[in-house]
């Protein structure tokens, strides 16, 4: 049995130095990786918010059997700061709107038929008592029973005793129309769903619209520059307002200190591509295809940010 064993109350100098060295190493590693981890978490939160908004719109379109989507809005700093749910109201037909009726339209040509392809106008007039005057806005479309469709360009003010809708149409629109039109529909533009809270987005990540299948000849469109941008789903889940897939570049312009907050000058290693499929309406997030070289934007071997998003074998990140 050992006698007189000494009890240690503290570490030796060597042990203390080793512990301090380990602490310094871990602190340095944390400092090195913290910005990247922060950027990754910010991108993850951002993409999750946009995906949630898209899924909410797609599910609502299926449940309510009306085209429903989201609209991106830019904030005061010029970045996309929020998205809201929007919905296309049911078309107005010539017979019923609730308890009222749209009645008849009277078509009056404003000018004689011009040369092929030139835009002309036609006035559709109607009594002010019909509900159409409160349910139609600029950008809506009138579709006649003949199959002709025209966009509404001018709406008379409510003070007029008999209001007119002026529409533009190309040579494909039939100029010969009956004086009284009783069969028609008005297809209305999407409107914000009242009572829904906007989805707030990050202020260090912007969204750029790349477009359909590989339109890579220039820098993508900034949604804040092009105005409000909509992604709308049909009741069957497919895209309503796009002829092909939609690709959004989620760009973190503060991912690295010293990179300019410019799309073409930024660093894309902390970015992602959000894709929405045309037919299925499925939504996925993918890595950005590297490299990105705007000086060679016509060469997909050097500039193809949607490389991974377009590959059906990739399941996303």
Whether residue 32 lies inside any domain: the answer is: no
Residue 67 confidence (pLDDT)? 92
Q: Judge whether 20 lies within some domain.
A: no
- What's residue 195's pLDDT? 79
CA distance 264 to 267: 9
d(CA 95, CA 145): 13
Tell me, yes or no, whether 3 lies in a domain: no
Q: How many alpha carbons fall within 13 Å on the CB side of residue 169? A: 27
Q: What percent of the chain has pLDDT over 70?
A: 57
Min mean pLDDT across 40-54, 57-71, 122-136 is at 122-136
66 band by pLDDT with thresholds 50, 70 and 90: very high
- For 127-160, b/e burial (b = at least 16 CB within 10 A) is eeebbbbebbeeebbbbbeeebebebeebbeeee
Whether residues 212 and 305 fall in one domain: yes
Instruction: Give the span between the Cα atoms of 196 and 71, in whole angstroms.
Output: 13
Convert the pLDDT of each residue in 254-282 to its tens digit: 654 444 445 555 567 778 899 999 899 99
In this prediction, residue 109 has a pLDDT band, given cuts at 50, 70 and 90, of low
**CA Rg value for the chain:** 29
CA–CA dist 272, 260 (Å, integer): 18
pLDDT above 50 (res 223): yes
pLDDT of residue 55: 94
* Residue 268 is assigned to a structural domain of this protein: yes
Contact indicator for 152, 142 with CB cutoff of 8 Å: yes
Indicate if 279 and 159 belong to the same structural domain: no
- Residue 34: its pLDDT value, please? 44
Q: Tell whether 200 and 303 lie within a shared domain.
A: yes
**Are residue 248 and residue 280 in the same domain, yes or no?**
yes
Retrieve residue 270's tokens: 């902390």
Please give the mean pLDDT across all residues of the chain: 71
pLDDT above 80 for 107: no
**Mean pLDDT of all residues in 177-191:** 74
Residue 299 CB contacts under 8 Å (≥ 6 apart), including other chains: 293
Q: Does residue 13 belong to any structural domain of this protein?
A: no
Last residue within a domain, chosen from 189, 219, 235:
189
The verdict on 102 and 58 lying in the same domain is no
pLDDT, greater one: 285 or 99: 285
With respect to residue 26, please indicate whether it lies within any of the assigned structural domains. no
Q: How confident is the model at residue 132 (pLDDT cuts 50, 70, 90)?
A: low
Domain's final residue, options 160, 189, 218: 189
pLDDT at 169 over 90: no
Backbone angles phi and psi of 187, in degrees to 5: -95, 120
Q: Which of 15, 99, 55 is nearest to 231 (CA)?
A: 55
Q: Is the pLDDT of residue 57 over 90?
A: yes
11-48 confidence digits (pLDDT tens): 677 777 777 777 777 666 555 444 445 557 888 888 89
pLDDT band at 64 (very low <50, low <70, confident <90, very high): very high
Q: Are 137 and 179 spatial neighbours (Cβ–Cβ below 8 Å)?
A: no
Positive/negative CA dihedral, 27, 29, 31, 35: negative
Domain identity same for 215 and 280 = yes
Domain with 282 in it: 39-87+196-310
Cβ 220 vs Cβ 208: under 8 Å: yes
d(CA 49, CA 122): 44
**Strand (E) positions, the chain?**
68-74, 80-87, 92-93, 105-109, 120-126, 141-144, 149-155, 163-169, 180-181, 184-187, 191-192, 199-200, 205-211, 221-222, 229-233, 246-252, 272-276, 283-286
Contact predicate 68/77, CB 8 Å? no
Higher per-residue pLDDT: 130 or 203: 203
pLDDT at 95 over 50: yes
Residues 175 and 201 in one domain: no
Residue that finishes a domain, picked among 137, 169, 189: 189
Q: Is the dihedral of CA 288, 289, 290, 295 positive or negative?
A: negative
The tally of domains found in the chain comes to 2
């Amino acid at each position: 049995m050992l006698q007189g064993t000494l009890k240690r109350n503290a570490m030796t100098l060597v042990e203390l130095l080793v512990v301090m060295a380990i602490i310094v190493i871990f602190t340095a590693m944390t400092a090195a990786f913290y910005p990247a981890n922060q950027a990754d978490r910010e991108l993850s939160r951002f993409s999750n918010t946009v995906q949630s908004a898209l899924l909410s719109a797609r599910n609502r379109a299926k449940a309510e059997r009306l085209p429903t989507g989201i609209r991106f809005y830019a904030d005061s700093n010029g970045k996309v700061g929020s998205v809201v749910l929007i919905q296309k109201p049911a078309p107005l037909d010539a017979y019923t709107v609730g308890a009222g009726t749209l009645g008849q339209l009277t078509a009056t040509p404003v000018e004689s038929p011009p040369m092929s392809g030139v835009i002309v106008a036609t006035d559709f007039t109607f009594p002010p008592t019909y509900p159409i005057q409160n349910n139609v806005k600029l950008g809506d479309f009138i579709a006649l029973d003949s199959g002709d469709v025209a966009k509404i360009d001018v709406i008379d003010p409510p003070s007029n005793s008999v209001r007119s809708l002026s529409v533009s149409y190309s040579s494909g629109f039939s100029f010969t129309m009956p004086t009284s039109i009783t069969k028609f529909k008005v297809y209305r533009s999407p409107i914000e769903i009242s009572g829904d809270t906007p989805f707030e987005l990050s202020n260090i990540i912007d969204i750029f619209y790349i477009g359909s299948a590989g339109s890579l000849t220039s820098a993508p469109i900034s949604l804040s520059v092009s105005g409000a941008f909509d992604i709308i789903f049909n009741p069957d889940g497919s895209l309503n307002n796009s002829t092909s897939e939609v690709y959004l570049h989620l760009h973190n312009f503060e991912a690295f200190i010293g990179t300019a907050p410019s799309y073409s000058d930024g660093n894309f290693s902390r970015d992602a591509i959000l894709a929405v499929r045309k037919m299925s309406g499925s939504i996925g997030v993918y890595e950005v295809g590297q490299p990105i070289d705007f000086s060679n934007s016509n060469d997909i071997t050097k500039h193809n940010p949607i490389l991974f998003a377009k590959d059906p074998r990739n399941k996303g990140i």
